[in-house]
Structure 1
Amino acid sequence: MTERPRSSRDASGRSEAEQPPLPPARFAYDRHTWKEIAHLLANLPMSLFGFVYVVTVLSTSAFLTVTVIGFPLLAAGLMGARQLGKLERARARALLGVRVDEPSRLPLRGGKHGFFPQLWQTLKDPVGWRTTLYDFIRLPWGILTFTITLTSLFVLWPVLPFIARGLTNADRAMVRGLLSPSDELERRIAELESDRGVVVDTAAADLRRIERDLHDGAQARLVNLAMGLGLAKEKLLEDPDAAAAMVDEAHGEVKLALQELRDLARGIHPAVLTDRGLDAALSAVASRCTVPVKVTVDLPSRPVAAIEGIAYFTVSELLQNVSKHSRARSASVEVWRTEDRLLIQVWDDGQGGARLDGGSGIRGLADRMDAVDGLFVVESPLGGPTTVTAELPWRNRSEDRG
């Protein structure tokens, strides 16, 4: 999980040095030639089926876009096109020896993000649209290759291996160009665009929480404080002892209001994180946990403030879960850097049973990680222990300023 080698990739998912060249033509009838002939003869029924499917889906969904079922029908059609692409890749692999990686699955957006974000994600799927294009343009090619191959079987028998190799090389190029995960970056961009909704929802929830905490906490205390001081002012001359008691009570309210404001500010972005970084900030969080927590931070420098903040609040939320739900006797927090990733691991020896869909804010943490191209893994068998591992992209503060 921590190693993510990056290299130049072509359309088939292989590096340029690994990509095999197209096979040369030769005058020979061997098993490879017969497989190529079988592929060319199968082009007509396969291309006819794909063309009819695509035209039917596109025309029907376009006609129905004036109703509520048009776009869902188009999305279902694109999902079906993905399956046709999978079938064509399998056929090319079996008959042409073309090894093309399967594209990544569409990310699912369940829960509160619901139906419409998932629909929009499917409608923007580049793999589905490239497969649709492949099936749409293949009918003329399927007719041509079927006709040439069938005719050559009876007329141009001596040169048929040469013809078959040339035609199937064109098929190989089309499969690699349109049916491979060549636009993985495009898919990631689409996924990250979708994840912006998660960030917006999280920010809106945080603002509502701050507003609620201010209204129910510090604001209410300050209102009571103002009323108490007003009453004390009225009694100052006629009943100095009662006024003094009211002022003393108001002083206590001021202390409580200040403490609530400090806690609220810590929940927004703690000063210790800004001034001293993750090591000191996480140590402060661990000191408030109800179980002993060992904190180990091994970072050569500080990441940008956004990543640092996500790391802080992730650990803070996880340690709150340890305090409230785990029944643990001890816990640990480890933070370190590996290449261009910031890694976080929170462990406890509690009862286990934590799940991404189990509440306690864990689903929200996973969504927040996903929104910044991070990873979030929970290992928590019943009976424990629980290990939560998170990855974030690393960016130096100097790089951010540059």
Structure 2
Amino acid sequence: MTVTSDTGAAADGGSVENEGPPPARFAYERHTWKEIAYLLSGLPSAIVGFVYTVFMVATGVGLSVTVVGLPLLALGLAGSRQLGRWERLRARGLLGVRVEEPSPLARHGGDGFFGRVWAGLKDPVAWRSVLYGFIRLPLAVVGFTVTLAGLFVLWPVLPYVVRGMTNVDRALVRSLLSPSDELERRIAELESDRGVVVDTAAADLRRIERDLHDGAQARLVALAMGLGLAKEKLLEDPDAAAAMVDEAHGEVKLALQELRDLARGIHPAVLTDRGLDAALSSVASRCTVPVQVTVDLADRPAEAIEGIAYFTVSELLQNVSKHARAGQASVDVWRNDDRLLIQVQDDGRGGASAESGSGMAGLAERLGAVDGLFVVDSPPGGPTVVTAELPWRDRTPRA
């Protein structure tokens, strides 16, 4: 479970973990007024939640002996999930408590109507929202009463009283309305990573389409037109036709080279046929600085992992060629238990970063999407050491 507060956001816009809102003071500040608003609005919200919860549980359990009872209970639990979401939003806006949203309801009971019903009945997030609805009402009554009276009677010490009561609410939200456990958190991360993979795949498809349209396709169209003109001039001006054919031959060579480069960018044949050692040596040979490649693998990993490792090293060596101003570089690849490790070093100027917006950040996202790690150590002046880890998966034998 990750809980952060929005009151201590970093100056650069990033989120940081902190201890909560600033200390309560006699002078009423913005945070104090938000806490007062939270406690005063808590009573109507708690009444709605309590009435809904009692009605839903009583109706669902009372009719559970009939055909419609359990589906109604599952539907009611889905509503409790939404009430929990509303309480998280209220706590986030007024108390500065940020709690990760639970993952969507998983249908472990299978597809179809009964699968949805069974998944709803087993939903731990919904049942904890039900418990929150029962517990919250008496606390809301006390909070509303004390706060309202305190605005007229306890004005000097009200900020301290309000802080104490809202701290109880903070703890309640964190314990009952947060994702269930580590598995819930991991599911949420994987869903986010899936979005990264989809976006990356879409971007790669657009790049391939653009390269085909602007490169090889344009050359082939020009080639077809040139050959058509050469055919017309073949009888009346053989020399001009021969020159056109010679020019078309050159266009064919360029088009083939562009197609080879495009195919290498999708998945190089040398990687499929000979593995990482040969493929990375081929990439290193195109780098503008000398690169020493060492691959210590007794077996080949799964094709997907092998491909990610190849393109990671390829992009890192491109960065070395374009930006590092290095004299030499090295690539080391080895296996450690169930992890594939990659380390790329150069003696260049340093200053590389995996912050958002950089090419390194894109690599970090891609590796994170497959449960990998990406670490950049690049102080100003160098050297730069980039370490990447990927999960090792055995290669599936081909039929």
TM-score range, shorter-chain basis?
0.5 to 0.7
Residue 190 of structure 2 aligns to a residue whose secondary structure is helix
For 2:288 and 2:364, how far apart are their aligned partners in 1?
A: 24
1:351 CA displacement = 1.0
| CA contact 1:380–1:387 (8 Å) conserved in 2 | yes
Tell me by how many angstroms 1:357 deviates: 2.5
Q: In structure 2, what is the equivalent of residue 297 of structure 1?
A: 295
- Distance in 2 separating the partners of 1:57 and 1:364: 47
Aligned position for 1:261: 259
Q: Tell whether 2:300 aligns with 1:321.
A: no
Alpha-carbon shift at residue 249 of structure 1 (Å): 0.8
1:288 maps to 2:312: no
Deviations 1:334-374 (A, max 9, x none): 11111111111111111111112264521111111111111
In structure 1, the residue matched to 2:14 is none
Mapped partners of 1:230, 1:58: distance in 2: 78
Amino acid at match of 1:286: A
Distance in 2 between the 1:350 and 1:193 partners? 37
Query: Identity rate of aligned residues, in percent?
Result: 70
User: What secondary structure does 1:275 align onto?
Assistant: helix
Amino acid at match of 2:391: P
Amino acid corresponding to residue 354 of structure 1 in structure 2: A
- Give the letter aligned to residue 342 of structure 1: L
Question: Partner residue of 1:234?
Answer: 232
Asked whether the equivalents of residues 55 and 136 of structure 1 are also in contact (C-alpha less than 8 Å), the reply is no
| Number of the residue aligned with 2:8 | none
Show the counterpart of 1:187.
185
Distance in 2 between residues matched to 1:77 and 1:352, nearest whole Å: 45
Would the alpha carbon gap of residues 377 and 237 (structure 1) be closer, same or farther in structure 2, given more than 3 Å must change? same
5+ long unaligned stretches in structure 1 = 1-10, 12-48, 63-69, 87-104, 107-120, 143-173
Other-structure match for 1:148: none
* Residue of structure 1 in register with 2:386 after alignment: 388
C-alpha offsets along residues 244-291 of structure 1, whole Å, 9 cap, x if unaligned?
Answer: 111111101100000000000000000111111111111111111101
User: TM (normalized to structure 2)?
Assistant: 0.61
Other structure's SS at 1:290 match: coil
**Letter of the structure 2 residue corresponding to residue 371 of structure 1:** A
Contact 1:54 1:136 in 2 (8 A): no
Query: Contact between 1:74 and 1:123, CA under 8 Å: does it hold in 2?
Result: no
The structural deviation recorded for 1:296 is: 0.9
Q: 2:208 aligns with which of 183, 207, 210?
A: 210
3-state DSSP of counterpart to 1:397: coil
Question: CA 1:203 to 1:181, structure 2 compared with 1: closer, same or farther past 3 Å?
Answer: closer
Q: In 2, Cα distance between the equivalents of 1:359 and 1:243?
A: 52
Partners of 1:351 and 1:382 within 8 A in 2: yes
Q: Match of 1:276, as an amino acid?
A: R
Contact 1:272–1:280 under 8 Å retained in 2: yes
Per the TM alignment, residue 193 of structure 1 is displaced from its structure 2 partner at its CA by: 1.2
Classify the secondary structure of the residue corresponding to 1:230. helix
Counterpart CA distance in 2 for 1:138 and 1:268 is: 56
Report the Cα distance in structure 2 between the residues aligned to 1:381 and 1:357, rounded to whole angstroms.
Answer: 14
Secondary structure of 2:354's partner?
coil
Instruction: Give the counterpart letter for 1:243 in structure 2.
Output: A
How big is the shift at 1:76?
3.6
How far residue 236 of structure 1 moved from its aligned partner, in angstroms, is 0.9
Query: 1:247: which partner in 2?
Result: 245
Q: Looking at both structures, which has the greater relative contact order when contacts are Cα pairs under 8 Å and sequence separation is at least 6? A: 1
What amino acid maps onto 1:245 in structure 2? A
Which residue is equivalent to 1:379?
Answer: 377
CA RMSD in angstroms, aligned pairs only: 4.1
Q: Distance in 2 between matches of 1:382 and 1:371?
A: 29
- Answer yes or no: is the 8 Å Cα contact 1:82–1:128 preserved in 2: no
The separation in 2 between residues aligned to 1:339 and 1:189, in whole angstroms, is 24
Q: Report the Cα distance in structure 2 between the residues aligned to 1:198 and 1:57, rounded to whole angstroms.
A: 41
What residue in structure 1 maps to residue 331 of structure 2? 333
C-alpha contact 2:230 2:244 (8 A) present in aligned 1: yes
Q: Which residue of 1 aligns with 2:306?
A: 308
Count of equivalent residues? 283
Structure 1 residues 209, 139: closer, same or farther in 2, change over 3 A? Answer: closer
Contact 1:232 1:247 in 2 (8 A): yes
The normalised TM-score by structure 1 is 0.60
Contact 1:296 1:335 in 2 (8 A): yes
Query: CA distance change for structure 1 residues 210 and 180 in 2, over 3 Å: closer, same or farther?
Result: closer
> Structure 2 vs 1, CA of residues 333 and 58 (structure 1 numbering), >3 Å: closer, same or farther?
farther
* 8 Å Cα contact 1:222-1:257 kept in structure 2: yes
Q: Give the letter for the 1:253 counterpart.
A: E
